[in-house]
Structure 1
Amino acid sequence: MTDSPAVRTSVRAIVGFLLFCELASGFVQGYYAPLLADIARHLGVNDADITWFLTVQTLAAAVCVPLLSKLGDIFGHRRMLRIAVVSVLVGVLVTALVPHYGVVLASRVLVGPLAVWLPLEIALVHNRITGDGARKAIGMLVSVLTFGAILGTVASGIVSAVSPSLTITLLVPGVLVVVSVYAVFAKVPESTSRTHPHVDVLGFVGLGVAMVSLLLGLHLASDHGFASPLTLGVLAFALVVFAAWVVWERRAEAPAVDVALVTSRRLGPIYLTAFGFGAVMFGGQAPSSTFLAADRAVAGYGFDADASLISAMTALVTILATIGAATFSTLARRIGMRAVLILGASLAAFGNALVIPFHDELWQLWMTNGFKGVGMGLLLGALPATLAELAPSDQTGIAAGVYNSLRTLGGAAAGAVFALVLSTALAPGADFPGIDGYITIWAVEACAFAVGVVALAFLRLPAGTRTAQPVAAH
């Protein structure tokens, strides 16, 4: 039976409002980084202290994402999304209006739930539409999120240049979040699927402690190295807690996270690829910038790039990734989802491997980044879309939440490891890394995607995977 025009319009309207929410989410995520120096001066703190502005938000997200995702599966995804958008709005407003370092750091905790918007929205989409329609919607959500991050980064520079005060500059993201609050409270219907109503409190506490400890340990490793006693102590504590948490979750009747499902052939390859993807996407940003900025006359490599060239190179990858995420579903209709996933991981691996022999000319980096951008874009859209299709219908929220958390953890781990690689690969008698350090990083990045290719080849796609079936909005 063909759905009525009213039903189709209603579903499109729901997706449209969620797309605006993701635009706002990306805008907020991209807005603050260019302003960190100004914020540090505004708060009267040094450059080392202001790094906690972003770190605190990441640590808060590590706790919020799995918790709110699972609670969405139990109590309703819209309900948790409402809590998340209000929390972010309060955090953004306090950041702008209260110029006190301690209060601002507390406000970044409230912004942490920003990272759970996408998992909850994916669950809401899959409760309304499935199959190709859901793939398109999820691809658009991811691509709009990426575009929003670009828009936020560009806007922060423009607004700060014309704004009479930093307070006004910092209030700008709040405008988009206010509209998101309206959309979620007035225009987005609640999901209908529910999972077991039991909340595994100890499981969530253990997962939160393990994630925060791991991220904090990796942050310390980036600053002090892995040999630091403090770093080793925090990481060891995190691993012990994580091991105990796995034991507990395997025995729990209604676990916070179904460990068996996460490690199964059904979802495990997606999660493994997501971890490697996050390692390259987040952990590889700093090495890429420092390589471009290096003075070839001194280091023997690099292009003495200024901020505009580095931004342009980053923009190329981001724009291609945005396009890939928005269009992967069209390609999937022709060659299938598994082929799209493997193609994306293969292109990303090829681009990272190709830069090893070809990095002496600027055009070579444009070329290799082009391969990486297209490949990463296909993965950016196809990975969460496939995950949503394969996850049990009553666990879509937590499945997407674990996906986001693993990408974050991969980025943090790679950032710490890559910093260690560059610090130990110093050129003889110099205080800058030799080219071997960067080659090692590119090789690791290529291997991360190559592992994804192999894992995705063994991905189990059951015959019962949900097919397109739009559902009327309530």
Structure 2
Amino acid sequence: MTDSPAPATAPTAGVTARSVVGFLIFCELASGFVQGYYPPLLGAIADHLQVSDADITWFLTVQSLSAAVCVPLLAKLGDVFGHRRMLRIAVVCVLVGVLVTAFLPNYPIMLIARLLIGPLAVWLPLEVALVHNRIKGETARTSIGLLVSCLTGGAILGTISAGIVSSLVDSLVVVLLVPALFVIVSVYAVFFKVPESTDRTRVKIDIVGFVGLGVAMVVLLIGLRLAASDGFGIATILTLVVALVIFALWVLWELRVSSPAIDVRLVVSRRVGPIYLTAFLFGMVMFGTQSPITTFLAADPAETGYGFAASPGTASAVIAVITILATVGAAVFAPIARRIGIRTVLIVGASLAAAGQLFQIALHTQLTEIFIAAAISGIGMGLLLGALPALLAELAPHDQTGIATGVYNSLRTLGGAAAGAVFALVLASFTSAGELASSIGGYISIWAISAAAFIVCIIAISTLRIPTSDDHLAVPATVES
């Protein structure tokens, strides 16, 4: 099939694109704001609660583990009972979690509050399903691109705001109440301004499947966290083995039941499998390289022979270049796809992201070169960020858009966690006995792995069978294995 642009199909009667997308855009801005706001404040929160640096890392980890369970479950329930209904549940959970966190109760209660913020990760999959249910074609692609760009833009705004507000306000409680303002507006939008989706999938809820998937994801993420922090010792290996055994049993169960929690055959099909593979590899690089970038920049060249002894501000500036240009790329992919086709946009995005990593392998002795590599990678990853979920929503069965996008989000997160463990092992393998810093070979290896990951993405995207403008809306309920 040819890679033609999506047609400009009119929205569902009586529903305008503005009514569907306008308030959802603010919801994603709020989602990004919440995600970006807390990390700069972790030191102050740890001091207030009088917990160690190791303990406070669970502030973010608990949220990630909660998201691993919530995303596939709420996304699937959205396909069954309505995406707006599940989005309402998710925004209320996040609001309660944000408010409890702000008042800084004792450490265990705060961790419970962080569990309630986990459903934040399912906002985007549910919103993509709402958009694709109500809007088609070029307008849907543009809308999804705006949602993704607002998510990344909100994260930048949250990070900047945390620094500004904390410097102006003495009360940490007041500082932590700021995200609640954004979430409250999101609650209003979802309850009073966003229409419900109309498509429903008529299936039984696979309780065993969801419980098995949740347990497997949590155990796997704990194992990957142990690998990144403690290496591949006995505890790490046993945890990962248990996770893989649970996953294997879960797959066997899903293949046998008539209404699986996740359609494994769809996930590995030729129709959407390449998108999921790209999502995993993309997540590896996008999330897994953030820590190596920081440590490389902070390294003292007089001691290690590389690095720039850069301050946290300089490291933040490099990451900001990637994030800002990714925001731009996600926002503009749709009009570019209209001219050259969405497959070409994805290939260009993956090629730019690979080029950024290769550029960094060749040139990394000047800070200017690092910024150039960041800019190239950022715009490429932005095109992927916007185009991948938009295309997935078009290719997935119309009554499975929520769970299809939810799996996409989960795979990106899983890819980042896996890369964190692998990249930590790579750096450790290039660290001499008695030394704290890796040799430059460790970072070059990471950049090479990242470039190879994007090259695999290019190959995977090239195999996609994208429908023509005449039949891309009529997605069958069954797919090729």
Q: TM-score, normalised by structure 2?
A: 0.95
Fraction of identical pairs, as percent: 64
Alpha-carbon contact 1:340-1:378 (below 8 Å) kept: yes
List structure 1 segments (4+ residues) > 3 angstroms apart after TM superposition. Answer: 1-8
1:230 match: secondary structure: helix
From the superposition, tell whether residues 79 and 459 of structure 1 become closer, same or farther in structure 2 (CA, over 3 Å): same
Q: Where does residue 96 of structure 1 map in the other structure?
A: 102
Q: Where does residue 138 of structure 2 map in the other structure?
A: 132
**Which stretch shows the higher mean deviation, 358-367 or 261-270?**
358-367
Q: Where does residue 470 of structure 1 map in the other structure?
A: none
From the superposition, tell whether residues 134 and 359 of structure 1 become closer, same or farther in structure 2 (CA, over 3 Å): same
Q: Where does residue 370 of structure 1 map in the other structure?
A: 375
The CA deviation string for residues 152-198 of structure 1, in whole angstroms up to 9 with x for no partner, is: 00000111111121111111100100000000000011100001231
Alpha-carbon contact 1:92-1:171 (below 8 Å) kept: yes
Q: Structure 2 counterpart of 1:410, which letter?
A: G
**Which stretch shows the higher mean deviation, 116-125 or 159-168?**
159-168
**Which stretch shows the higher mean deviation, 183-192 or 415-424?**
415-424
Alpha-carbon contact 1:91-1:111 (below 8 Å) kept: yes
Task: Pick one of 365, 380, 383 that aligns with 2:385.
Answer: 380
* CA-CA distance at 1:97 after TM superposition: 1.3
* CA-CA distance at 1:428 after TM superposition: 6.4
Task: Pick one of 73, 78, 86 that aligns with 2:79.
Answer: 73
For 1:271 and 1:2, the matched residues in 2 are separated by 26
Alpha-carbon contact 1:81-1:184 (below 8 Å) kept: yes
The CA deviation string for residues 335-375 of structure 1, in whole angstroms up to 9 with x for no partner, is: 10111111101110111112111101111111111110111
The CA deviation string for residues 49-93 of structure 1, in whole angstroms up to 9 with x for no partner, is: 000000000000000000000000000000000000000000000
1:431 match: secondary structure: coil
For 1:379 and 1:189, the matched residues in 2 are separated by 28
From the superposition, tell whether residues 5 and 410 of structure 1 become closer, same or farther in structure 2 (CA, over 3 Å): closer
For 2:105 and 2:114, the matched residues in 1 are separated by 13
Q: Where does residue 262 of structure 1 map in the other structure?
A: 267
**Aligned 1:116-127 pairs, distance under 5 A:** 116-127=122-133
Task: Pick one of 23, 29, 36 that aligns with 2:35.
Answer: 29
The CA deviation string for residues 3-41 of structure 1, in whole angstroms up to 9 with x for no partner, is: 699957x32132010000000000000000000010001
Q: Where does residue 187 of structure 1 map in the other structure?
A: 193
1:315 match: secondary structure: helix
For 2:179 and 2:279, the matched residues in 1 are separated by 28
Q: Does 1:436 align with 2:445?
A: no
**Aligned 1:192-203 pairs, distance under 5 A:** 192-203=198-209
For 1:429 and 1:2, the matched residues in 2 are separated by 64
* CA-CA distance at 1:99 after TM superposition: 2.4
Q: Where does residue 297 of structure 2 map in the other structure?
A: 292
The CA deviation string for residues 241-293 of structure 1, in whole angstroms up to 9 with x for no partner, is: 00011111111101110000100111000000000110011110000010011
For 2:244 and 2:11, the matched residues in 1 are separated by 53
Q: Where does residue 389 of structure 1 map in the other structure?
A: 394
Alpha-carbon contact 1:303-1:362 (below 8 Å) kept: yes
Q: Structure 1 counterpart of 2:278, which letter?
A: T
Q: Where does residue 64 of structure 1 map in the other structure?
A: 70
Q: Where does residue 170 of structure 1 map in the other structure?
A: 176
Q: Does 1:49 align with 2:55?
A: yes
**Aligned 1:173-252 pairs, distance under 5 A:** 173-226=179-232, 228-252=233-257
From the superposition, tell whether residues 304 and 244 of structure 1 become closer, same or farther in structure 2 (CA, over 3 Å): same
Structure 2: where are the runs of 5+ without partners? 1-7, 475-481
Task: Pick one of 333, 347, 358 that aligns with 1:328.
Answer: 333
For 1:333 and 1:6, the matched residues in 2 are separated by 24
Alpha-carbon contact 1:42-1:99 (below 8 Å) kept: no
Alpha-carbon contact 2:71-2:122 (below 8 Å) kept: yes
For 1:56 and 1:347, the matched residues in 2 are separated by 34
Q: Where does residue 450 of structure 2 map in the other structure?
A: 445
Q: Where does residue 159 of structure 1 map in the other structure?
A: 165
For 1:201 and 1:334, the matched residues in 2 are separated by 44
For 1:180 and 1:208, the matched residues in 2 are separated by 27
Alpha-carbon contact 2:101-2:114 (below 8 Å) kept: yes
* CA-CA distance at 1:96 after TM superposition: 1.0
* CA-CA distance at 1:429 after TM superposition: 5.1
Alpha-carbon contact 2:12-2:135 (below 8 Å) kept: no
Q: TM-score, normalised by structure 1?
A: 0.96
From the superposition, tell whether residues 381 and 160 of structure 1 become closer, same or farther in structure 2 (CA, over 3 Å): same
From the superposition, tell whether residues 396 and 4 of structure 1 become closer, same or farther in structure 2 (CA, over 3 Å): closer
1:197 match: secondary structure: coil
Alpha-carbon contact 2:285-2:416 (below 8 Å) kept: yes
Q: Structure 1 counterpart of 2:437, which letter?
A: F
Alpha-carbon contact 1:147-1:322 (below 8 Å) kept: yes
Q: Structure 2 counterpart of 1:162, which letter?
A: L
Task: Pick one of 473, 477, 480 that aligns with 1:466.
Answer: 473
The CA deviation string for residues 217-258 of structure 1, in whole angstroms up to 9 with x for no partner, is: 0011111111x1111111101000000111111111011100
How many residue pairs match? The answer is 465
For 1:4 and 1:144, the matched residues in 2 are separated by 22
RMSD between aligned alpha carbons? 1.6
From the superposition, tell whether residues 2 and 333 of structure 1 become closer, same or farther in structure 2 (CA, over 3 Å): closer
Q: Structure 2 counterpart of 1:26, which letter?
A: G
Task: Pick one of 311, 318, 324 that aligns with 1:319.
Answer: 324
Alpha-carbon contact 2:298-2:308 (below 8 Å) kept: yes
The CA deviation string for residues 110-155 of structure 1, in whole angstroms up to 9 with x for no partner, is: 0000000000000000011011100000000000000000000000
For 2:174 and 2:421, the matched residues in 1 are separated by 35
For 1:466 and 1:420, the matched residues in 2 are separated by 45
Q: Structure 2 counterpart of 1:15, which letter?
A: V
Q: Structure 2 counterpart of 1:67, which letter?
A: L
For 2:363 and 2:216, the matched residues in 1 are separated by 40
**Aligned 1:340-355 pairs, distance under 5 A:** 340-355=345-360
From the superposition, tell whether residues 453 and 358 of structure 1 become closer, same or farther in structure 2 (CA, over 3 Å): same
**Which stretch shows the higher mean deviation, 69-78 or 216-225?**
216-225
1:359 match: secondary structure: coil
Q: Where does residue 121 of structure 2 map in the other structure?
A: 115
Q: Structure 2 counterpart of 1:206, which letter?
A: G
2:361 match: secondary structure: coil
